[in-house]
Chain A
Amino acid sequence: MSRWVLVIGLVLVGLAVVLFWALRPGGPRARTPAGVAGELPTPTPAAPQRVMLLFPAADGALHPELRDVPLPEEIHERVRTVVTQLLEGPRRGLHPVAPYPARLLDVFVDGRGNAFVDLSGPPVPLQGSFEELALAYGIVDSVLLNCQELKGVQLLFDGREVPTLTGHLDLSKPLRLNKSLIAAR
Chain B
Amino acid sequence: MGSTPTASTMSFFMRKLLFVLTVTAALMAVSTPAPAQGSSVSFSYAGQVASVPRFASRIEVLPVLRLLGAEAGFSPAAGTYVIQLDDHQIQIAPGSRFVLTDGQLEKAEEAPVSSPGGLAASAAFIERVVLSPLGFHLERLGMGYRIVAGARVAPVVDVRPAVADFGATTTLVLTLGRPVKATVAEEGGGVKIDFADARPQIDRSLPMRSRRVLGLRPEGQRLTIVLARGMGLLSSHELTSPDRIIVEVGRRRVPPTPAPMVAAARPSRPTIVIDPGHGGSDTGAVGGNGLQEKDVTLAVARRLAAVLQADGYLVRLTRNGDETRALTDRTALANRLQAVAFISLHANASSFKSAKGAETYYMSLHDATDEHAAETARKENAAGAPRHGGSALDLILWDMAQARVLNQSSRLALDVQRRLDTLLNLPDRGVKQAPFVVLTGATMPAALVEVGFLSNPAEARQLENPAYQQHLAEALARGIEGFLRSES
Contact = CB atoms under 8 A, between A and B. Distances in A.
Q: Do A and B come from one complex?
A: yes
Given A1-B11, A168-B436, A181-B432, A32 B116 contact: yes
Interface in A2-35: 2, 5-6, 8-9, 12-13, 15-16, 19-20, 23-26, 29-33
Interface in A86-117: 95, 99, 106-111, 116
A115 B460 CA distance: 38
Contacts of A116: 98, 105
Contacts of B91: 110-111
B364 interface: yes
B127 to A, nearest CB: 21
A41 B350 contact: no
- Contact residues on A (Cβ < 8 Å of other chain), bracket: 35 or more
Contacts of B351: 95, 99, 131
Contacts, number: 214
A13 B25 contact: yes
- Contact residues on B (Cβ < 8 Å of other chain), bracket: 35 or more
A5 B435 contact: no
Nearest to A39: B74
A141 B29 CA distance: 57
A60 B357 CA distance: 10
Contact of A74 (B14, B77, B352, B434): B77
Contacts of B18: 5, 8-9, 12
A29 B436 contact: no
B97 A33 contact: no
Nearest to A150: B78
A18 B102 CA distance: 47
A148 interface: no
Given A30-B36, A33-B116, A58 B354 contact: yes
A165 B36 CA distance: 45
Nearest to B107: A159
B175 interface: no
A16 to B, nearest CB: 4
A58 B98 contact: no
B14 A16 contact: no
A105 B56 CA distance: 25
Interface string B291-305: 001000000000000
Interface stretch (A45-53, A63-71, A172-180): A172-180
Contact of A12 (B21, B76, B371): B21
B15 interface: yes
Interface string B19-30: 001101100110
A128 B282 CA distance: 12
Most chain-A CB neighbours within 10 Å: which of B115, B352, B366, B454? B352
Nearest to A168: B436
Most chain-B CB neighbours within 10 Å: which of A23, A127, A167, A168? A168
Contacts of A25: 33, 36, 56-57
Given A137-B434, A167-B284, A181-B434, 19 more contacts: A9-B14, A13-B25, A16-B29, A19-B32, A24-B32, A25-B33, A29-B35, A40-B94, A41-B74, A41-B79, A74-B77, A107-B96, A111-B91, A128-B347, A133-B434, A167-B327, A170-B367, A176-B367, A180-B432
27 contacts: A2-B11, A20-B32, A23-B35, A24-B32, A24-B33, A32-B114, A41-B94, A41-B114, A60-B430, A95-B351, A108-B100, A109-B93, A110-B91, A110-B100, A111-B80, A118-B98, A128-B293, A128-B450, A128-B453, A129-B348, A130-B350, A130-B450, A167-B277, A170-B440, A173-B371, A180-B364, A181-B432
Closest A-B pairs by Cβ, 9 of them: A128-B349, A16-B25, A108-B98, A127-B285, A58-B352, A5-B14, A127-B349, A76-B79, A130-B350
Interface of A: 1-2, 5-6, 8-9, 12-13, 15-16, 19-20, 23-26, 29-33, 36-37, 39-41, 56-60, 74-77, 95, 99, 106-111, 116, 118, 127-131, 133, 137, 149, 154, 156, 159-161, 163-164, 166-170, 173, 175-176, 178, 180-181
Interface of B: 7, 10-11, 14-15, 17-18, 21-22, 24-25, 28-29, 32-33, 35-37, 55-57, 74-80, 82, 89, 91, 93-94, 96-98, 100, 105, 107, 113-118, 277-278, 282, 284-286, 293, 327, 346-352, 354-355, 359, 361, 364, 366-367, 371, 429-438, 440, 448, 450, 453-455
